């Protein structure tokens, strides 16, 4: 890394601070976000907090490590957590469709709710992956927070194609529900509006095009859906705005998770800047899966040169020496070291580009593990690394 040294992220101070009520782990896919969230949750619980970890689509083994076997949308007590400090750990997997259904049921009378739940557009919207998952994760977070049953909620954000989608989700849904298309779609049902002829003309062009594109039945379904949904729009927007405000509230902290790779750190940069724009508090960066921090201090170049020297001596015929039998293994060890060192040097360079751009962001590094986390002990170890103060 360059001369700049970022402050070290003090994980224990963050999780021990009773004012911290929500920790959001974000970052691009495949960087170990869920593992980080679970490890933080476990560590906080074993340090005395009453924690709920909300995860979205965890890997099967990780889910099993917390005793989660089904997607039942209810926080379950995790067994095997050390409770000497008086804390506890609950964990749940988000059921996106069920969460959505519950909101519909809460905001519409039973007849209308049934009509919405049966509509094919609603079914597509509520069970698809893009967008809805982000929105429902935030909705669930809001519900858990309002229930006040936990004093710390750790949430793992969905593996969006862009890690930023979940920040936009409430606003996007709000904008969509207020959109002109919706007004056009609902126009014929709400006849006699003062938009008058202009809209009607526009409308016939639009419906013409849309009927061609989607077919008359699709258009009818869309209109029915939008009309039925119309009564709930207000409630939806309010909830979305509440959640958004919750993310800005003082008790919320964001942790950006990244691997020391250009793509993951690019996403991390967007995140850092975006959180700043939204005035959402960033606690720091977790640099996960860092290779080769230990090991001998021998540069890749020197190591490689020595390997080549030995290989040359092997090729130039047998040297009658006591040590020549170990040449092949020594050469191999040097090549291996050169490879590991150049990987580690590259990771430093990539990470250095990030840290020098954001010198004030606290950072903690977690070494790459040879095996994935399977059990609480594994999560505990990751937690140790996260809280390691160097």
CA–CA dist 113, 232 (Å, integer): 10
Nearest residue (CB) to other proteins, 216 versus 357: 216
Q: How far apart are CA 236 and CA 55, in angstroms?
A: 23
In whole angstroms, how close is the CB of 112 to other proteins at the nearest point?
Answer: 18
- In terms of CB distance, is 54 or 164 closer to other proteins? 164
CA distance 231 to 112: 9
Give least dist CB 83 to other proteins, A: 29
Our CA dihedral for 181, 182, 183, 189, rounded to 10 degrees, sits at 120
Q: Are 9 and 364 in contact (CB under 8 A)?
A: yes
Which of 256, 278, 276 is CA-nearest to residue 267?
A: 256
CB of 258 within 8 A of CB of 268? yes
d(CA 186, CA 387): 54
Is the CB of 246 or the CB of 368 nearer to other proteins? Answer: 368
| Residue 195 to residue 207: CA distance in whole angstroms | 16
Q: In angstroms, what is the minimal distance from the CB of 284 to other proteins?
A: 21
- Least distance to other proteins, CB of residue 233, Å: 13
Q: To the nearest whole angstrom, how small is the minimum distance from the Cβ of residue 176 to other proteins?
A: 5
Smallest CA-to-CA distance from 253 within 153, 106, 168, 356 is with: 153
The distance of closest approach from Cβ of residue 336 to other proteins in the complex, given in angstroms and rounded to an integer, is: 5
Return the number of the residue (109 or 372) whose C-beta is nearest other proteins: 372
Q: Taking a C-beta distance cutoff of 8 angstroms, is the pair 37, 25 a contact?
A: yes
In the complex with other proteins, the residue whose CB is nearer, 238 or 263, is 263
Check if the beta carbon of residue 127 is closer than 8 Å to that of residue 91. no
Nearer to other proteins, 347 or 365 (CB): 347
Helix (H, G, I), strand (E, B) or coil at 319: coil
Q: Shortest Cβ distance from residue 135 to other proteins (Å)? A: 10
126 or 253: CB nearest other proteins:
126
């Amino acid at each position: 890394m360059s001369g700049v040294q970022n402050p070290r992220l003090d994980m224990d101070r963050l999780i021990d601070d009773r004012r911290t009520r929500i920790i959001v782990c974000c970052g691009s896919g495949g960087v170990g976000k869920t593992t980080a969230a679970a490890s933080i949750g476990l560590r906080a619980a074993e340090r005395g907090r009453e924690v709920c970890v909300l995860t979205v689509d965890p890997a099967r083994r990780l889910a099993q490590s917390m005793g989660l076997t089904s997607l039942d949308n209810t926080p379950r007590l995790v067994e095997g957590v050390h409770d000497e400090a008086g804390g506890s750990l609950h964990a749940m997997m988000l059921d996106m469709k069920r969460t959505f259904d519950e909101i519909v049921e809460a905001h519409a009378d039973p007849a209308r709710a049934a009509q919405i739940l049966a509509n094919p557009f609603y079914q597509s919207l509520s069970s698809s992956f893009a967008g809805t998952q982000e929105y429902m994760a935030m909705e669930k977070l809001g519900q858990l927070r309002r229930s006040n049953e936990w004093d710390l909620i750790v949430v793992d954000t969905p593996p969006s194609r862009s890690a930023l989608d979940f920040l936009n989700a409430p606003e996007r849904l709000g904008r969509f529900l207020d959109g002109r298309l919706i007004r056009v779609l609902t126009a014929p049902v709400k006849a006699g509006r003062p938009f008058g002829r202009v809209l009607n003309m526009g409308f016939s062009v639009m419906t013409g095009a849309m009927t061609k594109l989607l077919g008359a039945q699709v258009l009818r379904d869309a209109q029915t859906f939008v009309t039925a949904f119309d009564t709930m729009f207000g409630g939806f927007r309010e909830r979305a705005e509440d959640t958004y405000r919750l993310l800005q509230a003082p008790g919320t902290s964001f942790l950006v998770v990244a691997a020391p790779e250009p793509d993951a750190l690019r996403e991390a940069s967007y995140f850092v800047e975006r959180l700043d724009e939204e005035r959402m508090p960033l606690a720091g960066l977790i640099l996960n899966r860092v290779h080769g921090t230990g090991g001998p201090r021998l540069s890749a170049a020197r190591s490689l040169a020595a390997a080549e020297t030995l290989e040359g001596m092997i090729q130039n015929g047998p040297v009658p020496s006591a040590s020549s039998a170990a040449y092949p293994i020594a050469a191999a060890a040097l090549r291996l070291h050169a490879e590991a060192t150049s990987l580690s040097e590259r990771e430093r360079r990539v990470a250095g580009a990030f840290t020098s751009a954001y010198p004030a962001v606290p950072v903690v590094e977690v070494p790459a593990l040879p095996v994935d986390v399977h059990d609480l002990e594994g999560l505990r170890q990751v937690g140790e690394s996260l809280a390691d103060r160097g």
